[in-house]
Every structure is written in structure tokens, then in C-alpha cells.
């Protein structure tokens, strides 16, 4: 690497080879799949939301699934079907 490149971008030496965002793509795909599933079947939000009482009861998966299911999508899709 030349000093000219290092002056323009001091972080260029940290990542000499451009990396592909595989983890970002995987999270996007999971979020998209959950969003589509929730649009098709709106009661999924009630089944997967974060509820402190249920988490304390041992349903620890709700810590993760609550991040992928959105309340706004279910309410928008149910209004459109009425």
C-alpha cells in the first residue's frame, strides 16, 4: 500500500481484501421471511412478541423472536383486509 492511499483512508490497511456481508444478508433474509409470514398470518405477532412474564417463565426464545416480528405490519395488514 502506498502512503498516498494511507493518507486518504487510514483504515484501508485494516481490511486489505473487501469482504462480502454474509451475516448482514442472512439477518436480512430472516427478517424478510418473518415479515412475509406475519403479513400472511397476522396472529404470529401475538405468538412471538416479547413478554416479560413469559420470558421469566422460561420462554427465552422470545428475546430473539420479538426482534423479527413487528406490530406495525400486522396492524396495517389487518386494516387492509377489513
Around Cβ 23, how many Cβ atoms within 10 Å? 8
Higher pLDDT, 24 or 79: 24
Query: Average pLDDT over the chain, rounded to whole?
Result: 76
Higher pLDDT, 66 or 31: 31
pLDDT (average), residues 66-78: 63
Q: Check whether 67 has a pLDDT greater than 60.
A: yes
pLDDT (average), residues 24-34: 91
Amino acid at each position: 500500500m502506498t502512503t498516498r492511499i494511507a493518507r486518504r483512508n487510514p483504515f484501508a490497511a485494516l481490511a486489505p481484501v473487501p469482504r462480502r456481508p454474509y451475516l448482514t444478508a442472512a439477518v436480512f433474509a430472516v427478517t424478510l421471511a418473518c415479515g412475509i409470514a406475519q403479513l400472511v398470518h397476522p396472529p404470529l405477532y401475538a405468538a412471538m412478541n416479547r413478554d416479560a412474564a413469559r420470558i421469566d417463565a422460561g420462554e427465552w426464545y422470545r428475546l430473539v423472536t420479538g426482534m423479527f416480528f413487528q406490530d406495525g405490519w400486522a396492524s396495517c395488514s389487518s386494516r387492509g383486509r377489513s
